[in-house]
Structure 1
């Protein structure tokens, strides 16, 4: 209940929200029947009480109940006396008074929620006052944008760690959800129970992208990580649009895909997607060497894909808290089906945290991304760089140990995939005539190199090194460097 007091000047002064009657009634109900503690124990803590004395009494009751001991005025008196705080909490007389304040044991849960709600509102007041004071500060340590992020982080912490009631899922409900998932896969010929990736062979191996999963896609520079993830993003977004228009041709998608592009700008990423769909060389676009026919194709394709539900956020060095806030906003306003981060090492942890090492920093980020995937029930794909140790091996196919700060990334991820192109490395090993003392030896070596290049031309490997819910292995893909385009391998000659 909000209280209004008078200031010395006679003006009304509002006091922080509290509900003393609910606190007394709850404590009385707990003292009368300890089983009532089960109705509040999963969300109510001593610090939630506005009156510190009530918090001390609740803590003493909780301690005895958790040890399967009786908590009543008599046993509580002995415990509080032993702790030297009996007089502090009002003595035996106040414990007896609490019993008379009880209205009904059946209302214990309602009393607990009233107490918790008043505590939440007091926390909101504290956050609001801090926001106002920070904004008024003439020499603030943080600029305006940083203050917004700090406030958003405080609100998120309150929402997620505020002691809200936990809700378990019964085994029956979990089984129903599992059967529904299996039924969905059974109905789809491609066995895609999750979100369509736009790549048939990847769908077969993984069943699509699944809710709450954190997926890491890693590779060395030049392997095509961004090209592959944009292919998946576009494929998923197109599937969302097609699903919406299956019944109504004019409908808009109910969900969207968001790409947090920390390395490339939004227009660069859009140009790459347009080039891939229009089959126009990205290199020619950058140099301005496109024909009238190519430009006409651009216009036509742009109209065809304009309604694809794809959102690009190119904020550089975005913090985890800002990314979380924007994802929650998108889910509320547009519906969210997939989150992509390009790439992991360019992110910053939550504002105000200063990890002791880069390893701990990356660990905070991956744990945060996994938490976002679970909270919003969407798959999250994060791109990651690989360490240089790959370059020192003869076989340059990546391994889990090649992940930078690999421990936390590998542990938090539900799936880890590597993109590898033998063509990239083989092209760098072209024989040079200066390394041979005879022309015929050079010619022989060069012909062998050409044959090797032909065997790996426009081919890529997607290596699934970890999959929590399925098999690992390798998927062969088609890669067309001119258009930075990935596709299923049987499209090689299309």
Structure 2
């Protein structure tokens, strides 16, 4: 049967002939599926979760499918007889025999067993046609783009269109038998049992933090907040490096990759340059203070430590994007691209308030941040990776005697607190005590020295919210000169400090 729809514009054939190729389609499969639905309406239930009227090449077939769907979902029978009233004046149907065509479809019906296979063939061909249309749109836009339509914007839109198309090309979804969900939970527990440290998520490389969180969980949005100079970026880079360093994967026979430990990490550094971030990591791993690295004031031993650390850093799967002023849409597109090209197991963003929503919000920053946090949570679920996003705290923390942060201190806190699966705060009391140093030689200075001895090199990570586990405080060590966090050392193991 000849199609009743005119194909959209398509490219000339490979030989350069004046004719045009017909987009991929299978009219016989469409007829067989419609016939199966008209004979046994249960066929519709097998394909309704992924097949839509727009997926049919023949527009008439799409209308028949849509009319059948309306009747079936309303609890009525869809058959050649009940559909007759819908198509009595349909010109396309009249050209091929009128309502009798519906009866011919039912007469040539395939069995209900084959219905899903025919539907998948129709769906696959529809995705191929959409892919052709995306390429045509790219071709036309590139030729006729106005001056203000930059190539970068065209590439971004093309990437988004292709990724959306890739996400559509999946049959998964809908309800699952509880046994399947239970099996997934048991498999996750088994993987945690076999993994070092017994974690179900990605290890942060910090023992006490991992015990509280169970690792960084896939699809979670994790907010790490703190006032300036508390060490947010340092902790984020420590976690990113530890995850990337621990990365172990196995290439399976079917071409897929099974990650055994660690993660490929993408780091969006919106505040610091990639070189500054690399210097921090180099200082952390070599033990040479970053200030001395920048000024070149290092001895021969330190130089060799830098060389050794740089070799180790070169081999880890850590990718840095230091583009400033990104929109949430651009960030998402680049994260998807990294996952396609390299793989992706974890995403870090430093920091949330430097992102923009991309819309026109005027002075309504709260609404814009809501779009950003909602977009980040959706991206975490879409890519099935944990996203660690840093966030600034409001100045009201400084006005309190106890400067330990809490959830209400988050800037534009409503959406951040609501969308996040985990909210953590970095707090270093040493920072505040150090700023209160009295004049030397006074009794107050002796008391200050004693207080500094209690807080020097200590940090707290306060877990203010966690969907999967408990809240509470994790104590850590912090080496400010090399911006490195480590597991807490008991007091009787601490070295003596002088001030």
Query: Shorter-chain TM-score category?
Result: 0.7 to 0.9
Equivalent residue number for residue 305 of structure 2: 297
Residue correspondence of structure 1 range 123-134 to structure 2 within 5 A: 123-134=130-141
Equivalent residue number for residue 339 of structure 1: 347
Mapped to 2, the partners of 1:283 and 1:163 lie a distance apart of 51
1:311 paired to 2:319? yes
1:40 paired to 2:47? yes
SS of 2:25's partner is coil
Equivalent residue number for residue 464 of structure 2: 465
Moved more, 417-426 or 334-343: 334-343
Cα 1:239–1:132 shift into 2, 3 Å: same
Q: C-alpha displacement at 1:466, in angstroms? A: 1.0
Of residues 69, 84, 99, the one that matches 1:92 is: 99
1:455 paired to 2:416? no
Q: C-alpha displacement at 1:232, in angstroms? A: 0.9
Q: Is the 8 A contact 2:351 2:391 kept in 1?
A: yes
Of residues 156, 159, 167, the one that matches 2:166 is: 159
Mapped to 2, the partners of 1:100 and 1:140 lie a distance apart of 57
Equivalent residue number for residue 275 of structure 1: 283
SS of 2:405's partner is coil
Equivalent residue number for residue 493 of structure 1: 494
1:261 paired to 2:272? no
Mapped to 2, the partners of 1:86 and 1:188 lie a distance apart of 63
Gaps of 5+ in 2: 251-259
Gaps of 5+ in 1: 245-251, 434-441
Q: Is the 8 A contact 1:219 1:419 kept in 2?
A: yes
Cα 1:476–1:19 shift into 2, 3 Å: same
TM, length-normalised to structure 1: 0.85
1:143 paired to 2:153? no
Cα 1:112–1:189 shift into 2, 3 Å: closer
Residue correspondence of structure 1 range 365-384 to structure 2 within 5 A: 365-384=372-391
Please report the RMSD computed on the Cα atoms of aligned residues, expressed in angstroms.
3.3
Q: C-alpha displacement at 1:153, in angstroms? A: 1.0
1:206 paired to 2:213? yes
Equivalent residue number for residue 401 of structure 2: 394
Equivalent residue number for residue 79 of structure 2: 72
Equivalent residue number for residue 26 of structure 2: 19
Q: Is the 8 A contact 1:191 1:203 kept in 2?
A: no
SS of 2:489's partner is helix
Mapped to 1, the partners of 2:424 and 2:44 lie a distance apart of 47
Cα 1:137–1:72 shift into 2, 3 Å: same
Cα 1:380–1:123 shift into 2, 3 Å: same
Mapped to 1, the partners of 2:80 and 2:170 lie a distance apart of 27
CA deviations on 1:369-394 (whole Å, 9 max, x unpaired) are: 33333333322211122223323333
1:49 paired to 2:50? no
SS of 1:280's partner is coil
CA deviations on 1:46-81 (whole Å, 9 max, x unpaired) are: 222233332222122111211222111222234x27
Mapped to 1, the partners of 2:230 and 2:468 lie a distance apart of 26
Cα 1:6–1:291 shift into 2, 3 Å: closer
Cα 1:304–1:138 shift into 2, 3 Å: closer
Mapped to 2, the partners of 1:195 and 1:254 lie a distance apart of 6
TM, length-normalised to structure 2: 0.84
Cα 1:303–1:126 shift into 2, 3 Å: closer
SS of 2:463's partner is strand
Mapped to 1, the partners of 2:89 and 2:120 lie a distance apart of 27
Moved more, 457-466 or 178-187: 178-187
Cα 1:15–1:186 shift into 2, 3 Å: closer
Moved more, 401-410 or 201-210: 401-410
Residue correspondence of structure 1 range 178-257 to structure 2 within 5 A: 178-187=185-194, 190-240=197-247, 255-257=263-265
Cα 1:133–1:405 shift into 2, 3 Å: farther
Q: C-alpha displacement at 1:362, in angstroms? A: 2.9
SS of 1:340's partner is strand
SS of 1:217's partner is strand
Equivalent residue number for residue 413 of structure 1: 420
Q: Is the 8 A contact 2:203 2:262 kept in 1?
A: no
Q: C-alpha displacement at 1:41, in angstroms? A: 0.2
CA deviations on 1:307-357 (whole Å, 9 max, x unpaired) are: 2332222233334444444444444454433221212222344x7x55674
Q: C-alpha displacement at 1:445, in angstroms? A: 4.4
SS of 1:212's partner is coil
Q: Is the 8 A contact 2:246 2:261 kept in 1?
A: no
Q: C-alpha displacement at 1:305, in angstroms? A: 4.2
Mapped to 2, the partners of 1:151 and 1:100 lie a distance apart of 44
